[in-house]
Amino acid sequence: MTLISTEPATGAELWRGEHGDASAAIGRARAAFPAWAARPLAERKALLEAFAEEVKKDADAFAELIARETGKPLWETKTEVAAVAAKVAISVRAHEERTGERIDDAPGGRSALRHKPHGVMAVLGPYNFPAHLPNGHMVPALLAGNVCVFKPSEKTPAVGEYLVKLYHRAGVPEDVVQCVVGAADVGRTLTSDTRVDGVLFTGSSNTGIAIGKALAERPGVICALEMGGNNPLVVWDTDKLAEAATIIVQSAYTTAGQRCTAARRLIVKDSMADSLLAELLPLVDRIRVGAPFDDPQPYMGPVIDNDAADGLQRGYDQLIEMGAKVLHPLERPDPALPLLTPAVLDVTGIEGLPDRELFGPVLQIVRVPDFDAAIEAANDTAYGLSASLVGGSEKEWQRFWRESRAGIVNRNKPTNGASSAAPFGGTGLSGNHRPGAFYAADYCSYPVASAEGDEIEASIGVGLK
Ligand SMILES: NC(=O)C1=CN([C@@H]2O[C@H](COP(=O)(O)OP(=O)(O)OC[C@H]3O[C@@H](n4cnc5c(N)ncnc54)[C@H](O)[C@@H]3O)[C@@H](O)[C@H]2O)C=CC1
Ligand SMILES: O=C(O)CCC(=O)N[C@@H](CCC(=O)O)C(=O)O
């Protein structure tokens, strides 16, 4: 089956290739695992550091490819490439801190704690950060001694293939990290193959749930699910309205809203909502939407494809049918392309709002009378990835932190832009308590406890006849 990838900003064909053979790749990975796991950690670390150097050497070409295949502005894809390279040093530190070795004296010998890799890891990636996010699974997995079969999103196969070539160029053996392109069926082959020891997934909650079901009868398979969000940003009692508006724009519209940590819902104290909107709406109006290489650079590119744009339009229209007030419209200047303007809807007071991730530039505003209502609205979701409070008192922040049900709870910062040096994951429909980024080390190896005697010495103290 042929897979074709097109540039969102132009519709031009960028890449075509055949679906990969996932089963054959797993076979090669299994064969490569023992030797890779047996190599000293220092060797694996050196090869990954060489990979980081290859990424830096190729940074311009890599950023251009990501920009063409995702439509993200070039300024932004440069930051993605930098994050790919930076992942190595962070993962080395995390591996040392989170896994490592502990040897204690014990009667007649020692008690030891060491970690071992799981084996063959299937890595399934999304399209919004087609290099950085799967790489965030792959670097720690490889460092720990696992081998990886990586299936990039069917919307970004060119970036996936390129990423894996950089590993090979650095000297990581070809069967230790492989790229298998394809759509959901190739993903399903990977998750159903009993030779796979772990599934490291970043993508939508629906797919994460399907993967959880596919693995339900194999509890020994490590399963790390990084999924979507319906994230709240609460703005409370502040006169720094221009700064608050900037944080809102960064949270809702960076990457055209295609971040799992994007703010989907702005919850604001009713008495200050009009003054905040007086700052926010002109700023939203100033957002430049355009193609990745435009000069001057846009803030937002297109969403990934026309299907995604159609879906967002439907979600937006449904909210309007339910009574949402349009404060800034979702427009699509060229119906043949997925370039969308940033939208703001006031959904205050609408009953039965869908608790759904609209993965694009649509922000819903909810006005609330008091902080109790703000917390209630913030938590009114089955997701739990990120939440942020802008403004408010110290006491309100303490309460917000305590009562927010999310893996990332920020103060006076955007909901997105999470650091790779911190754990990254959510609760509910957002994740299964196997956070990535700094804590990815935890799911990439398992602890082995050993009681080690110097000699064979044994005695049964009591109870013998
Ligand atoms: N929490 C996190 O760290 C992040 C989550 N995301 C989420 O990802 C979504 C956007 O990415 P998409 O590419 O649309 O996600 P998606 O869920 O459609 O696809 C992700 C990957 O899973 C594969 N896949 C699809 N169905 C499968 C199945 N049944 N079995 C195995 N593999 C399958 C796809 O081919 C793709 O490689 C959003 O919901 C976003 O919130 C995106 C980035 C970060
Ligand atoms: O995985 C990491 O190293 C850190 C997490 C991260 O990069 N988060 C970004 C992107 C998340 C997304 O796709 O949606 C963020 O929080 O903006």
What ranges do the domains of the chain cover?
2-227+431-451, 231-411
* Per-residue pLDDT tens digits of the chain, which is 465 residues long: 999 999 999 999 999 999 999 999 999 999 999 999 999 999 999 999 999 999 999 999 999 999 999 999 999 999 999 999 999 999 999 999 999 899 999 999 999 999 999 999 999 999 999 999 999 999 999 999 999 999 999 999 999 999 999 999 999 999 999 999 999 999 999 999 999 999 999 999 999 999 999 999 999 999 999 999 999 999 999 999 999 999 999 999 999 999 999 999 999 999 999 999 999 999 999 999 999 999 999 999 999 999 999 999 999 999 999 999 999 999 999 999 999 999 999 999 999 999 999 999 999 999 999 999 999 999 999 999 999 999 999 999 999 999 999 999 999 999 999 999 999 999 999 999 999 999 999 999 999 999 999 999 988 989 999
CB 262 within 8 A of CB 408: no
Tokens found for residue 394:
């110290």
Q: What are phi and psi of 288, to 5 degrees?
A: -90, 125
CB 262 within 8 A of CB 254: yes
Length of the chain (residues): 465
Question: Which of helix, strand or coil describes residue 1?
Answer: coil
User: 346: left (phi > 0), else alpha (psi -120 to 50), else beta?
Assistant: beta
Question: Which of helix, strand or coil describes residue 77?
Answer: helix
Whose C-alpha lies nearest to ligand 2, atom 1? 437
> Does ligand 2 have an atom closer than 6 angstroms to the CB of 125?
no
Write down the pLDDT at residue 63.
Answer: 98
Atom of ligand 1 nearest to the CA of 152: 37
> Does ligand 1 have an atom closer than 6 angstroms to the CB of 57?
no
Tokens found for residue 126:
């999304």
Among 69, 80, 87, 124, which residue has the most ligand 1 atoms within 8 Å of its CB, making it the best to mutate? 124
CB 69 within 8 A of CB 14: yes
Ligand 2 centre and the CA of 173: distance in Å? Answer: 28
Write down the pLDDT at residue 14.
Answer: 98
Nearest alpha carbon to residue 312 among 324, 303, 322, 321: 303
> Does ligand 1 have an atom closer than 6 angstroms to the CB of 148?
no
> Does ligand 1 have an atom closer than 6 angstroms to the CB of 305?
no
Whose C-alpha lies nearest to ligand 2, atom 17? 417
Q: Which residues are catalytic?
A: 226
Rounded alpha-carbon distances, angstroms, from residue 147 to 31, 96, 140, 327, 344: 10, 19, 11, 50, 44
Atom of ligand 1 nearest to the CA of 226: 1
Separation of alpha carbons 187 and 362, rounded Å: 29
For residue 204, give the ligand nearest its CA.
Answer: 1
Query: The dihedral of CA 425, 313, 342, 353: what is its sign?
Result: negative
Whose C-alpha lies nearest to ligand 2, atom 14? 259
Ligand 1 centre and the CA of 207: distance in Å? Answer: 6
Write down the pLDDT at residue 52.
Answer: 98
Among 81, 84, 129, 415, which residue has the most ligand 2 atoms within 8 Å of its CB, making it the best to mutate? 129
CB 383 within 8 A of CB 357: yes
Nearest alpha carbon to residue 189 among 29, 31, 30, 26: 26
Q: H helices of 129-269, where?
A: 132-144, 157-170, 184-192, 205-214, 241-253
> Does ligand 2 have an atom closer than 6 angstroms to the CB of 129?
yes
Query: For 330-353, b where at least 16 C-beta lie within 10 A, e where not — what string?
Result: bebeeeebbbbbbbbbbbbeeeeb
Ligand 2 centre and the CA of 418: distance in Å? Answer: 5
For the whole model, what pTM was predicted? 0.97
Ligand 2 centre and the CA of 18: distance in Å? Answer: 30
CB 356 within 8 A of CB 230: yes
- Write down the ipTM of this complex: 0.96
Spelled out in words, what is the top-level CATH class assigned to the domain 231-411?
alpha beta
Atom of ligand 2 nearest to the CA of 90: 3
Spelled out in words, what is the top-level CATH class assigned to the domain 2-227+431-451?
alpha beta
> Does ligand 1 have an atom closer than 6 angstroms to the CB of 209?
no
Ligand 1 centre and the CA of 126: distance in Å? Answer: 5
Ligand 2 centre and the CA of 441: distance in Å? Answer: 16
Write down the pLDDT at residue 251.
Answer: 98
Tokens found for residue 61:
């070409």
Ligand 2 centre and the CA of 304: distance in Å? Answer: 17
Contacts made by residues 1-5, CB under 8 angstroms, sequence distance 24+: 1/182, 3/154, 3/157, 3/181, 3/182, 3/183, 5/69, 5/155, 5/156, 5/157, 5/158
Separation of alpha carbons 277 and 291, rounded Å: 28
118 CA to centre of own chain: 22
Among 207, 264, 303, which residue has the most ligand 1 atoms within 8 Å of its CB, making it the best to mutate? 207
Write down the pLDDT at residue 100.
Answer: 87
Separation of alpha carbons 171 and 174, rounded Å: 8
For residue 200, give the ligand nearest its CA.
Answer: 1
